A and B are shown apart, each in its own frame.
Chain A
Amino acid sequence: SQQGEEDPQALSIQEGENATMNCSYKTSINNLQWYRQNSGRGLVHLILIRSNEREKHSGRLRVTLDTSKKSSSLLITASRAADTASYFCATRPGGGADGLTFGKGTHLIIQP
């Protein structure tokens, strides 16, 4: 079952602009993770935010988490053409040790 749902499904912006994508989830979590997938490739882990954290930064990435609203956002600042990819949020419902549950992703296109 889908735990996370990303919004929007697709996003097209100009190079240099900021890109924001959102994720909503349904059950309690230990942490929420964001992954990137280039076309036809495997997923790459970007950032993990724990349930007791509200904001986390990594380079040009900024992630927020609001556990009261069961939502997270990923902000990519000063976008580059190489950021063109699909972005997925992932959680482990109930914090168990089985696999992550992924949303359907946001497809981000950076126009040069």
Chain B
Amino acid sequence: DGGITQSPKYLFRKEGQNVTLSCEQNLNHDAMYWYRQDPGQGLRLIYYSQIVNDFQKGDIAEGYSVSREKKESFPLTVTSAQKNPTAFYLCASTPFQGNTGELFFGEGSRLTVL
């Protein structure tokens, strides 16, 4: 089945630690996105990548980093510089650069900082 796989589904982290969330897609999509969702809130864009080896900051990139070494993979690192990292993180993709159609989402990763 084609889709987006995020892992882990639940993650606990101590303050001061970096953590990396995985996002893999087998849809052959060029563009990939990371969103953050806080309780009762909408989604806010962290980073996006429209092509391999290129990515852009979204609205709330501070304290996060990404890489796009392969078309199918777009991992997100939540660094210790992120002040309020506890949130639900969603990865999404869309077929090609400039596409104005729908986003395809993974099932999310819930990060809790202890």
Contact = CB atoms under 8 A, between A and B. Distances in A.
Q: How large is the interface on A (under 10, 10 to 19, 20 to 34, 35 or more residues)?
A: 20 to 34
Contacts of B31: 97
A1 B42 contact: no
Interface in A84-106: 88, 90, 92, 95, 97-105
B43 A42 contact: no
Given A95-B100, A97-B31, A98-B56, A105 B105 contact: no
Interface centre among A4, A92, A100 (most CB of B within 10 A): A100
Interface stretch (A14-22, A43-51, A58-66, A73-81): A43-51
Given A43-B90, A98-B48, A98-B56, 19 more contacts: A2-B42, A4-B42, A31-B101, A33-B102, A42-B106, A43-B103, A44-B105, A90-B103, A97-B50, A97-B98, A98-B45, A99-B33, A99-B45, A99-B48, A99-B92, A101-B45, A102-B43, A104-B40, A104-B41
Size range of the interface on B? 20 to 34
Contacts, number: 63
A78 B35 CA distance: 32
Interface string B37-56: 00011111100101000001
13 contacts: A41-B107, A41-B108, A42-B105, A42-B107, A42-B108, A45-B104, A92-B100, A95-B100, A97-B50, A97-B99, A98-B58, A102-B44, A103-B42
